[in-house]
Amino acid sequence: MRLKWLTSCVLLLFGAAAWSQPGPTAPPPPTGLRCEYLASPLGVDVAQPRLSWVLEHPARGQAQSAYQVGVSLQPDVPGGDQWDSGRVSAAQSTHVAYAGQPLASGRTYYWKVRWWDSSGNASAWSAPARFDTGLLAASDWKGKFIGGANQLRKEFTLERRPSRARAYIAGLGYYELRVNGRKVGRSVLDPAWTTYDKRVLYVAYDVTAYLRPGANAVAVTLGQGWYAARALLLQLNIELEGGGRFDVVSDTSWKVAQGPILSDSVYHGEVYDARLETPGWDRPGFDDSKWKPASLVDAPKGVLSAQLMPPIRVTDTMVPFKMTSPKPGVHVYDMGQNFSGWVELRVKGPRGAQVRLRHAELLYDDGTLNVENLRRARATDTYILRGDGGEEAYQPRFTYHGFRYVELTGYPGAPKLDTVRGKVVHSDVKPAGGFAASTPILNQIQRLILWGITSNLHSIPTDCNQRDERMGWMADAHLYAESAMLNFDMAAFYTNFLRDIRDIQGTDGSVTDTVPHRGGRRPADPAWGAAYPLIAWYVYLYQGDRRILEEHYAGVKAWTDFQRTHSQDGVLSYSYYGDWVPVEKTPGALVSTFYYYYSAHLTARMAEILGKTADAEAYRKLAAEIQEAFNRKFWNAAEQVYGNGSQTSQILPLYLDLAPKERRGAALDHLRNSIVYYNNIHLMTGIVGTKYGMELLTRGGNMDLAYDLATQTTYPSWGYMLERGATTLWELWQERTGPSMNSHNHPMFGSIGTWFYSALAGINVVPEKPGYERIRIEPQPARDLRWASGSLETLRGAVSSSWSRTERSFGLEVVIPVSSEAEIHLPKLNLNNVVVRESGRVVWRENAYQSGAAGLRGARQTAGAVIFQAGSGRYVFELAEE
Ligand code: BGC
């Protein structure tokens, strides 16, 4: 009592300052500060950006009881001069929306946060993080879109040293920005591909350190990219030390000239003539008197919007492990891995010598390149030597290839193994998950998945990386989206892609097969269009992002309505691809109606979450009608199967519980028989059935069978791909190498990655508490699997589950972040009378929970498992027979 009184006095005396002194029991300050999913992003153009932080605590069962956020224009302001949230009693540590002074254009905001733990102990303030606002109003852009040639430059003089300088650039199709001779930033193939008539992305850079008092030069090279033309909008906003500002904008005072890049195309490659280089053109003092003035070009129609996602970068260098010369003068390099990117060439030789690099996924038996499956993509880079006596290094700028093999011809002299190096290029999403298991083939498949996914993140999720497509085929996109989200930090990437989808949506609600719309049709095959509701839903599930639903609810609903107007009596029959690339076909109308139901069902769920009660009711009703129609139309009573009896025909209605109880047994039996007896333990499914099939079997008590399928090595299976030397996932279960459709890097069968985390490692999101606020840890040991381990860096912090077992025991180590809660399932392995210890202490014995272990809140059992309720912390369980 006395102590309390004393504390109050101290508080009264020292006021708020006393609060900010964390005591000896203070929890560690928040870390991992993010703004709109990104660490200290530049160019934020969101009116109320959302802030997230990660909490850690030495004690278990901890939750944030309150937080305080301060946002200021200077780093060291106590509290916040733009926003001081005050002490907010809430557990929320993700997606806290900025609610301070209206954000100004082109400013740097510093923010910090502190928190109070469950016992009310305050942490110290976090280290400050930053976000920079972009150009928020159209009128903030002072420049014009210019062009005229592929190199553009401008010199200017600064009277004093710059204190803060930002470059904002929309360089279409691709740009490389240089200031005073240095490339700005590490991104390549920027900006992201968008529907340029709707949205053009600009990128913001901090160029303070690139500038100096006196003469400066800004230089831009433009590539055609997906825009298939060149246009530059640039603005440099410079604040000078001691006050004053100086702006440089793109206009007709810039000078332009055609540079050494003679041609560039995403599919065909680049031709670079080094003889046309003009050294110094990107520095001040260059004589550009012969250069032409820039001309104004038509501005793309889309609105300018900040690129708030990880840019494409060179992420790795590959050293070839083999070089052969199948013919005189033809040298073939094997990189040992299929990937996206290009090669860096090192060469010395006479002026004008032409070196050609061709890229391929495959070789003929004689060791020469097989480019048949690239179709019309020429995938060829040509370098013409400067020939100044020294070694020349070349990398293309505005193309990329999907390849494992490189053919080098025209090389002057004898090339060596290190004449070429592979550069791995893709959207630089941060790895966020790890998975491993005791059965080697699972780790090998995981490797295929990781390379398959990264190869196909090129500002949009692409179908493939090599042939004349590389488009955002929407079914491919949603089928591997969860797998991508578990393995990588995909939130900002998909936030952008969902806007891409919204950009192509028609006033009739239709969406397109590919996004941006380049191939395929409008309206999309319903299984392709489903990417809109599904990816929005996955971002909500994995990130707890409610705003994504707010942003896209109208669009998702319009897509559902579009399908309704094209349906008849609850059945949606139009279909172009259905369960694509299967061994055994499934009726297209069945697949379309399944996705029509899925869309209606998700529209209802989203409506419910957003508090749109009438809509929720209406779409629940619609979903029920579709369900009834599905059963009327596709249940074959005579055969007791759905559809044509294909595996996918059973999987789809079972996966979404469309099948009424009395039919489930028959449909599941048929599915099992088909897999086990008619097809000797193989999936016959295409990309659609495969994803849902693995999850369905696991849920339906057929984990061993799912495991057998995952570890199968004969055709068709993932293992078959591996046995045939795959280093990425194929487009087809079949091994084909001709001119037909057979990419060897197509991530869509990578949907099995979800199952690795959810079933094998046992980490599951709980839809009612998305974003890992509640976590279900439910590892499912199968057959000879001895251990498995999964870990995730979620927006709230680390989540992990690692288990190992013997015949008579099961060990499980789990990590749950602060403010989260978990349901942890320990499989009883058919043992009798199990005892569970946690860090050595008995927590379950004689069929009853034994309380006392910190963080644990109770337990119950089912026939197969003991299930603990737990708060945050790290737990080490051991289950064994008494
Ligand atoms: C793409 C696929 C895509 C399909 C549509 C193919 O050419 O590569 O992955 O989904 O067309 O059927």
- pLDDT band for 79, please (50, 70, 90 cuts): confident
The C-alpha angle with vertex 195 and arms to 192 and 198, in degrees rounded to 5, equals 115
Is residue 838 scored above 70 in pLDDT?
Answer: yes
Neighbouring-strand partners of residue 122: 116
pLDDT the model gives residue 803: 98
Which of 476, 479, 528 has most ligand 1 atoms within 8 Å of CB, for mutation? 476
Residue whose CA is at the smallest distance from ligand 1 atom 11? 473
Please state, in angstroms and rounded to a whole number, the distance separating the CA atoms of residues 483 and 479. 8
Lowest-confidence pick of 231-235, 432-436, 638-642, 737-741 = 737-741
pLDDT the model gives residue 24: 78
Mean pLDDT of 669-682: 98
Please state, in angstroms and rounded to a whole number, the distance separating the CA atoms of residues 301 and 319. 43
**For residue range 763-801, what is the model confidence (pLDDT) as tens digits?**
999 999 999 999 999 999 999 999 999 999 999 999 999
Q: Do 234 and 169 contact (CB within 8 A), yes or no?
A: yes
Please state, in angstroms and rounded to a whole number, the distance separating the CA atoms of residues 505 and 522. 9
Q: Ligand 1 centroid vs 473 CA: distance in angstroms? A: 6
Cis peptide leading into 191, omega within 30 of 0? yes
Is residue 15 scored above 50 in pLDDT?
Answer: no
Half-sphere exposure of 100 (CA within 13 A, CB side): 24
Please state, in angstroms and rounded to a whole number, the distance separating the CA atoms of residues 171 and 188. 12
Ligand 1 contacts CB of residue 538 (under 6 A): no
- pLDDT band for 16, please (50, 70, 90 cuts): very low
Ligand 1 contacts CB of residue 45 (under 6 A): no
89: amino acid identity, one letter: S
Half-sphere exposure of 853 (CA within 13 A, CB side): 25
Closest atom of ligand 1 to 581 CA is 12
In the DSSP assignment, the letter for residue 677 is I
Single out the residue of 190, 207, 423, 463 nearest to residue 311, CA to CA.
190
Single out the residue of 568, 570, 567, 575 nearest to residue 592, CA to CA.
575
**For residue range 323-337, what is the model confidence (pLDDT) as tens digits?**
999 999 999 999 999
Closest atom of ligand 1 to 577 CA is 12
**For residue range 404-425, what is the model confidence (pLDDT) as tens digits?**
999 999 999 999 999 999 999 9
Single out the residue of 344, 375, 342 nearest to residue 359, CA to CA.
342
Single out the residue of 347, 369, 349, 351 nearest to residue 360, CA to CA.
369
9 vs 330, residue with greater confidence: 330
Residue whose CA is at the smallest distance from ligand 1 atom 1? 463
Q: Ligand 1 centroid vs 404 CA: distance in angstroms? A: 21
**For residue range 125-174, what is the model confidence (pLDDT) as tens digits?**
999 999 999 999 999 999 999 999 999 999 999 999 999 999 999 999 99
